[in-house]
Structures are given as structure tokens and as C-alpha cells.
Amino acid sequence: MSEETVNAATPGMPDGSSFSKRGRLADAVIEHLTNAIVTGIYPEGKALPTETALCEMYKVSRTVIREVSTTLAEKGLIVSQQGRGTTVQEQSKWNLLDATVLAALFRRDDGLTYLDSLIEIRLLLECAMSSRAAERITDDEVAELRSILTRLKSISADPVAYGAADLEFHDFIMKVSGNKLGRAIINGIQGQALATRDYHGHPTLSDIEATHQAHEAIVNAIEQHEPEAAARAMHDHIEGSWKHRRRTAG
């Protein structure tokens, strides 16, 4: 099996795309087929190629394809039925929080609508977590948050570095809130969105300056233990930033 390669000629995909160096064979085929299903190369209700055809398409064994099929079924993407073979399930059955499915959704032509949904989720969860952080933050945590803010200011001339540190800023506030599930949801979904330019845009130095001012307002409210002000500052920051960098669909 170690000598097998994944070399798919799926309709709509580049021919000869070898995945042999991308980790386990099954994972490579899973990613490729997930993308093909989510982006509509294999539409809902349509049958996937047979097991034999997939083995030939990807140049892998039946064992690999069966592992792939099991995983795709667990993601809600396919279902196997006697006499009908393996068919693509309707989108309502898909696990939209699955990392591989999410990554493919963000790459679709309508991926912007899913990014809009992510922003809505962030507004709901992060504003509540900011409010909670303002209620429970300790003096030591205030000092640490201030330290993060100071470091952000020191790298404000570098939009790329600032963007990376910005993630730490938001994550620390979520950590302070104590909402472990909310933090996991945001970080999980956002992690996939970061791979697309549509999500983080092309920030300029003036954008970074405006972002830093918003960060300062959030920190001031949290430090003063003002839950409503912290939630409002976080809301204004997330919503305003997205409105500014969101591209116009089409």
C-alpha cells in the first residue's frame, strides 16, 4: 500500500493530481472526494463511481476506498443503498462543522454566504463571551491582555503579523470567558475560513489602525468590568471589520 498513489481524473479536477506526498492515502482521497461532492461535481442524489472505478481512478486498493466510503458516510455526504450503490446525500444531511466539509464549502461559488454565517456565529458567541470575560477577568489576566494589546501595537506596521496576533487576542478573551465549547466552535470554524482570502481580505495600514482602536475599546470595557460595553465593543469590531473587507458577491 505504501507504493500506491492517488492520481485522480475526476471530472472538473486537474488530471494527474498526485496526492502521494500528502499523508495517508485515504485522507487524500477523502479530501478530494469531499471537495468534488461539496462543489457539485457529484450532485446530490447522484451515484458515485463504483468501488472498482474509484480504485482505478485513484490507483488505490479496495481497502482504501472502503475506508474512504465509511468516512464520507460519517460526514453525511454519501449513503449506500442496496441496488442503488453509493449516492450523494442532500446537503441537509452533511456535517457542516466537519473541517474538510467546511473547507470545501468556503471554496464554493457561494462560499461568501457561508462566511457571512460564520460572522453571525462569531457575533452571537464572541459578544457573549466578551461580556462574560468582563465579569470574571482577574488582575493578572488584565495584565496579560494588556500585554497582548501592546504587542499588537508594536507590529501594527505589518498587517500579516498583526493578523496572526489578532487571533491570539480574540482567543485569550474567549479563554477568560470560560466558555470552552464556544471557544472550540469559533476556533474550529474560523480555522477553515482563514484559508480563504475572502475571510481576511487585504488589510491596509489604515485598516490595522482602525482594528487596533477597536481592540483598545474592547480591552478598556473588559478591564473596567463592564459586560454590556464589552459586548457592544466586540459587536462593533466584528461587524464593522467584516463590512469593510467583505467583497461584493459576483
- Residue 191 domain-assigned? yes
Residues 49 and 74 occupy one common structural domain? yes
Cα–Cα dist 41/104, whole Å: 12
What is the torsion angle, in degrees rounded to the nearest 10, for the CA atoms of residue 12, residue 14, residue 16 and residue 17? Answer: -110
103, part of any domain: no
The answer to whether residue 176 sits within a structural domain is yes
Residue 61 shares a structural domain with residue 114: no
Percent of the chain with pLDDT over 90: 72
User: Strand 17-18 vs strand 78-81: parallel, antiparallel, or unpaired?
Assistant: unpaired
**Residue 60 in contact with residue 3, Cβ under 8 Å?**
no
Q: In the Cβ-directed half-sphere of 232, how many Cα atoms lie within 13 Å? A: 6
Exposure class string for 42-61: b at 16+ Cβ within 10 A, else e: beeeeebbeeeebbebbbbe
Residues 121 and 240 in one domain: yes
Residue 13 has pLDDT above 80, yes or no: no
For the segment 81-86, the average pLDDT, to the nearest whole number, is 81
Claim to verify: residue 224 and residue 190 sit in the same structural domain:
yes
Cell readout for 86 is 453509493
pLDDT at res. 114: 92
Domain shared by 81 and 114, yes or no: no
pLDDT band at 248 (very low <50, low <70, confident <90, very high): low
Q: Identify whether residues 200 and 124 lie together within a single domain.
A: yes
Instruction: Count Cβ atoms within 10 A of the Cβ of residue 151 and give its class: 0-12 exposed, 13-18 middle, 19 or more buried.
Output: middle
Look at residue 147 and tell me if it is in a domain: yes
pLDDT band for position 17 (cuts 50, 70, 90): very low
| Residue 99 within any structural domain of the chain | no
Judge if 116 and 70 occupy the same domain.
Answer: no
Whole-number average pLDDT of the chain = 88
On whether both 141 and 206 belong to a single domain, the answer is yes
Q: Tell me which of 36, 65, 93 is where a domain ends.
A: 93
Whole-angstrom Cα distance, residue 194 to residue 201?
A: 10
For residue 8, give the H/E element and its range: strand 7-8
Q: What are phi and psi of 137, to 5 degrees?
A: -65, 140
The answer to whether residue 2 sits within a structural domain is no
Q: Which of residues 62, 93, 124 is at a domain's end? A: 93
CATH number of 73's domain? 1.10.10.10
Rounded-to-integer distance, Cα 150 and Cα 170, Å: 14
* Res 8: pLDDT: 54
Which domain CATH number covers 133?
1.20.120.530
Q: Which residue has the higher pLDDT, 11 or 66?
A: 66
Pair (151, 236) in one structural domain: yes
Q: How far apart are CA 217 and CA 229, in angstroms?
A: 9
Q: How confident is the model at residue 10 (pLDDT cuts 50, 70, 90)?
A: very low
- From 30, 61, 93, give the residue that closes a domain: 93
d(CA 204, CA 227): 31
Biggest distance spanned by C-alpha atoms of the chain: 66
Q: What is the pLDDT of residues 199-243, one digit of tens each?
A: 777 788 888 999 999 999 999 999 999 999 999 999 999 999 998
Q: Is 101 part of a structural domain of the chain?
A: no
Indicate if 144 and 183 belong to the same structural domain.
Answer: yes
Instruction: Assess if residue 131 is contained within a domain.
Output: yes
Residues 114, 235 within the same domain:
yes
Contact 78, 37 (CB under 8 A): yes
pLDDT at residue 105 tops 90: yes
What helix, strand, coil percent values describe the chain, rounded to 5? 65, 5, 30
Q: Are residues 17 and 68 in the same domain?
A: yes
Range of the domain at 81: 7-93
Q: What is the pLDDT of residue 195?
A: 77
For 146-163, what is each residue's pLDDT tens digit?
999 999 999 999 988 998
Cα–Cα dist 186/125, whole Å:
8
Total count of domains within the chain? 2
